[in-house]
Structure 1
Amino acid sequence: MTTSHFLSLCMIVSNEEHTLARCLASVKDAVDEIILVDTGSTDRTVDIGKKFGARIFPYIWNDDFSDARNRGIKEAKGEWILVLDADETLDAIDSLSLKKELWKTQADGLYLNILNYYGVYKEGSYFTDSSCRIFRRSPDIFFEGRIHETVTSSIKDRGGSLELGEYTILHYGYLDDYIQLKQKNERNTRLIETALVENPDDIRLRYALGSEQIQKGDYEDALGTFLEILKNLSPFDDHAPDIILKSVNLLWYFHRRQEALNLLEKGITAYPDFPELWDTKADILLESNCFQEALYSLFQSMDNGDQKKHYSSHAGAGTYLTAYKAGLIYEKIQDDVNALKYYQSTLDLKPNFKLAFDRWIHWALYRSPSPYVVECIGKWRDGLEPSQWIKAIRMSILYDKHEIEGELWKLMPRDYLPEVKDEIGLLSKAISFSLKGLKEEALRIMQRNQRRTKKMDEVLLEWCLYYDMDRGQDLHALLSEYSAIYPLAKHLSTFMEGELHGTEQEESLNLAKHMFMEAGCWEGFVRFLHSIPKQSRLSKSFPLSHFYMFFNASEKTASTLLDFYYCYYEQYSVNEKLAISILAIKAEDYQLAQRTLVTTAESFPDNPLPRWTLALFYFHHRSPWSSSLLDELKPIVIHLSN
């Protein structure tokens, strides 16, 4: 650290040994001193702080976060204060550029963007927020509020100004594991309720109470809290946009759709540049199949999406997530050209967004020339993850686009090649041969390189091949070898012994269903289905996500599958019923196809897909010059395979 004190990090800590080192490591080169106000840690927190050169100040906790924060500020020597919590890190900070920003700014405080990760950690699972975390050290700048304390009021009271800074805080405190570890919800609720006794009209505290109620799952109480706040809420209140957004989502959750839309209109009028309000409006409109109105809302969101605002929003609102939603709507209205366009726009912004990639690769392989597919993947190459390369290669094989498969291996980053080759090198070749009906050759490929342990998907493919070829002895030997390594192999083994129980086994057997179809092992697939007890959930489960693979089956196989699944027709969703109708067309059972299409269209009048499919069906039978009906239905099949 430098001897001059320009930037001081001030923190409150209490038993933070699990996260403190990560936090301090992220900021140690940018700050000139570290001050930890310790409220009674009994773990290694203090020792960790000392290793980073921190000054430690013991503090008797009095249920007042502002008091503890202000104690740290009082001990600071820097011209500027940075405030972090132990469950946060400062993202990719360059110390010189940060200090240059502080030297040149005329503001008294800087809002920093905060990415709040929630649930189970995933890179894109966060919502954004902002908070004043850097401010000048001054006697009249201090924290206020027993909990959810803020420094902005004191800055505004002195006539100071606030700006949005260039840096981002990563907050991990809403992750399930951390919430369970720290048990903060009960403590926070208690402190908020105590503070509300002292200040019953404090909107910030009431907002905090509603947020804690949401986190606990007390949605009815939270809605009551927010609706009460809305009665006297000023649009200029810092929390107003998020209070409106949370209220809208709670109203929608309780099926009070029109009230949610009415409140959205008020919110959009006050904050027309708040992307998530537009996104939420689109989601609610889409529920009623108001496609054009939903698209208009998404376009408004994207028009404002790249602007820096103080709004709390989910990741991708107004940018990649909104573009993805537009792609989904265009799929629903059978505009596959625009669906492809918006999926591509999504991936241009965030190449590793897997939901969009899965949809894009389907439509690109079906609709676009091979050079376009290769060009796009080349453009996104450095942002794609290994699982996306694997997906693209396997899908290229299924769509019989081997020229694309070859180019993908050439394009792949060198760092990924060993992992991807190990994962699907043999698998992709074997599936290619199996799809051509060369099952023995596929098995020979799978039995190469016997020195290494097979991957789970390799075991599954080999099992499907043996099952398809009715080679029981080889099948049992394979499962015996790998049952101790992969639960999937154990589940298949117990299934072969006539036992069917448990969700985990069902998941394994569903994977087997998908591999039968992917490898074109249709005889084995049919035998496999008939070996499942009729009343089991697994037997009734229609493989909708892989429905596009049914197009590779023969008319005879399609007819057999139709007989099997039609007995569950009345239990199926609208999309599954539509899939049954298309399967009937594939099996050339046109009477059943017409009957089920008419029934589905009448039962779901607001859903355009059954009516569109029925229209294609009638047009095909009345127009001898029309193209193959199955070819015309492929876009619908791809959409259903979602």
Structure 2
Amino acid sequence: MSTLSVCCLARNEELFLPKMLASVRDIADEIIILDTGSTDATIELAKAFGARVEIADWNDDFGAMRNKVLSYATKDWVLMLDADELVYAERIHESVDVSLRKQTLMPLQSEIEIHHYGFTDGKPLRRIRNRRSFEAELNKNPTDSFVRTHLALSLFLEKDYHKAESYFDIILTTQSRDLTPEARSIIMALLAEIYRLQQKPVQAKMQAQRAMRLMGGNSLAEYIMALVDIDEKLYEVAERRLQTIDSNMLTQRFFSVHKGELYTEIIKCSLRGGKFDQAFQYAELMLETPTHDGMMIGGALCEKKRDYTTALKFYQHALPISPVPSEVQAKIENVERILAAQEAQE
């Protein structure tokens, strides 16, 4: 049987690390943490989970640090995770096919899903670290379209849309021959999203349509078209478009949309149209692929129906993925009080 090493770089990750370690301890044959200068309880927490902890000074070279932690791995396979990622046994969330294609290997769909919270935790330093690493790499290899694409993605995640747009434009105008039609189509879809976020709906739709013409079945472009419809308050149009999207095709090269996000937008459109039963049906589907908004809406719908037991289930699913856990905990405690009062009356 094949064995697995889980490797992770960490620094002051006491908030996220226990969740990550708990999510992999049943599948990992060894867990290796390379700590780069923690001043909190990161090292102690890692050791408590049985992880091997190595120490290194951060040298502002992410690639070198990654290679260092990988050098400690001794098992057949290696899974490299950030401290703020969780592994779930469903479907892969981020694309990893680039390195496979370089080895002439074809990627296969996995039943593993990785949830990454680092870009939603309100801490910009994590994003800046990634961007600086890609900037340094691009300075060394200015014609590397792969690095330029990931730098553009980092800028996109930092919400520096103007710079991200310029990098994506350079890729499409001067380096498009380095990319497959699929990759070009996904970059066009991301440009459409940048236009949408900059409140340029006409350009957003044009770019999304270009992406769909280049690659039929570009679910990401279709999803962004639906978001433009929502921005323009065309909720029924958006709902119909969202319902035609194959959720399994939202994991694309370079970028992906969580299936739960698709369902969340359908729920919001359903509520706008007064379709409460449909909204609840999609919320139930999301219990397997939860988002914070979807779980909170599901809980609120259940409370409206006085189904407090199911409401509690939704809020409990929301708690570990909430950007504001205290608010969800307050909801849980309120529902538990109601359930306790009901039980006392019986």
Give the TM-score, by structure 1 length.
0.42
* Partner in structure 2 of residue 31 of structure 1: 28
Partner of 2:219: 275
Write the mapping of 1:437-476 to structure 2, written as runs, cut at 5 A. none
Task: Tell me by how many angstroms 1:239 deviates.
Answer: 5.0
| From 280, 285, 288, the counterpart of 1:349 | 285
- Given candidates 301, 324, 346, the residue that maps to 1:388 is 301
Residue 242 of structure 1: how far off its partner (Å): 4.4
Which whole-Å deviations, capped at 9, do the CAs of 1:525-568 have from their partners, x for residues lacking one?
Answer: xxxxxxxxxxxxxxxxxxxxxxxxxxxxxxxxxxxxxxxxxxxx
Residues 49 and 411 from structure 1, CA distance in 2 versus in 1: closer, same or farther, beyond 3 angstroms?
closer
Tell me the alpha carbon deviations over residues 107-133 of structure 1, each in whole angstroms, 9 at most, x when there is no partner: xxxxx623xxxxxxxxxxxxxx3336x
Task: Check whether the contact 2:138–2:147 (CA below 8 A) recurs between aligned residues.
Answer: yes
Aligned residues: 317
Q: Is the 8 A contact 1:8 1:35 kept in 2?
A: yes
User: In 2, Cα distance between the equivalents of 1:266 and 1:243?
Assistant: 11
Report deviation, 1:86.
1.1
Q: Which residue of 2 aligns with 1:310?
A: 251
SS in 1 for 2:109: strand
SS at match of 1:73: helix
After TM superposition, give the deviation of residue 5 of structure 1 in Å. Answer: 7.2
TM-superposed deviation, 1:196: 1.5
Instruction: Evaluate the alpha carbon distance shift between residue 422 and residue 391 of structure 1 in structure 2; reply closer, same or farther with a 3 A threshold.
Output: farther
Question: Does 1:213 pair with 2:210?
Answer: no
1:236 deviates by 2.1
| 2:203 corresponding residue in structure 1 | 259
The residue type paired with residue 171 of structure 1 is: H
Q: Give CA-to-partner distance per residue, 1:34-61, whole Å, 9 cap, x none.
A: 2223334344333333333333333343
SS in structure 1 of the partner of residue 305 of structure 2? helix
Alpha-carbon spacing, 1:322–1:228, altered in 2? closer, same or farther (3 Å) = farther
Q: Please give the secondary structure, in 2, of the residue aligned with 1:307.
A: helix
Identity %: 24
- 1:426-477 per-residue CA deviation (whole Å, 9 max, x = no partner) reads xxxxxxxxxxxxxxxxxxxxxxxxxxxxxxxxxxxxxxxxxxxxxxxxxxxx
The 8 Å contact of residues 312 and 336 in structure 2, kept in 1 or not, is answered as: no
C-alpha displacement at 1:304, in angstroms?
3.3
Larger radius of gyration: 1
Q: Which residue of 1 aligns with 2:136?
A: 194
User: Does the 8 Å contact 1:10/1:83 carry over to 2?
Assistant: yes
From 334, 337, 342, the counterpart of 1:419: 337
Change (3 A) 1:61 1:238: farther
Q: CA deviation at 1:265?
A: 1.0
**Alignment match, 2:119:** 174
Are the counterparts in 2 of residues 9 and 31 from structure 1 also a CA contact under 8 Å? Answer: yes
Name the SS of the counterpart of 1:159 in structure 2.
Answer: coil
Structure 1 position 166, deviation (Å): 0.3
Amino acid at match of 2:4: L
- Structure 2 CA distance, aligned partners of 1:257 and 1:32? 49
1:133-172 correspondence runs (5 A): 152-153=98-99, 155-172=100-117
Match runs of 1:322-401 below 5 Å: 322=266, 324-325=268-269, 328=272, 331=273, 339=275, 342-343=278-279, 345-347=281-283, 349-350=285-286, 385=299, 387-393=300-306
Matched, 1:73 2:70: yes
Q: Partners of 1:58 and 1:356 in 2: how far apart?
A: 40
Mark the runs of 5 or more structure 2 residues left unpaired by the alignment.
314-331
Supply the AA of the counterpart residue of 2:119: Y
> Aligned-residue CA RMSD in angstroms?
4.1
Q: Look up the equivalent residue of 1:86 and give its one-letter code.
A: A
Match for 2:166 among 217, 220, 224? 224
Within the alignment, does 1:184 sit opposite 2:129 as a pair? no
- Do the aligned partners of residues 246 and 76 (structure 1) sit closer, same or farther apart at CA in structure 2, a change above 3 Å counting? same
Aligned mates of 1:255, 1:409 — CA distance in 2: 40
Residue type at the aligned position of 1:35 = I
- Could you tell me how far 1:421 is from its partner in structure 2? 5.5
What residue identity is the alignment partner of 1:391?
K
Q: Is the 8 A contact 1:347 1:353 kept in 2?
A: no
CA distance in 1, matches of 2:49, 2:249: 34
1:279: Cα distance to partner?
Answer: 3.1
1:82 to 2:23 alignment? no
Contact 2:264 2:293 (C-alpha < 8 Å) held by counterparts: no
Q: Give the direction of change, closer, same or farther, for the CA distance of 1:192–1:238 in structure 2 (3 Å limit).
A: farther
Q: Distance in 2 between matches of 1:204 and 1:327?
A: 41
Q: Per chain length, whose mean CA-contact separation is higher, i.e. which structure has more relative contact order (CA < 8 Å, sep 6+)?
A: 2
State the secondary structure of the residue aligned to 1:84.
strand
CA distance in structure 2 between the aligned counterparts of 1:169 and 1:353, rounded to whole angstroms? 13
Change (3 A) 1:173 1:255: closer
Deviation at 1:315, TM superposition (A): 4.7
Which one-letter code corresponds to 1:349 in the other structure? L
AA of the residue aligned to 1:249: E
Cα displacement (A) at 1:411: 9.6
User: In 2, Cα distance between the equivalents of 1:266 and 1:211?
Assistant: 20
In the alignment, does 2:196 pair up with 1:248? no
Aligned-partner residue type, residue 268 of structure 1: M
Letter in 2 for 1:211: L
State whether residues 305 and 317 of structure 1, in contact with CA within 8 Å, keep that contact through their aligned partners in structure 2: no
Taking the aligned partners of 2:60 and 2:78, their CA distance within structure 1 comes to: 23
Given that 2:250 and 2:257 are in contact with CA atoms closer than 8 Å, whether structure 1 keeps it comes out as no
Say which SS state the counterpart of residue 248 (structure 2) adopts: coil
Contact in 2 for aligned 1:10/1:73 (Cα 8 Å): yes
Distance 2:309 2:139 in 1: 67
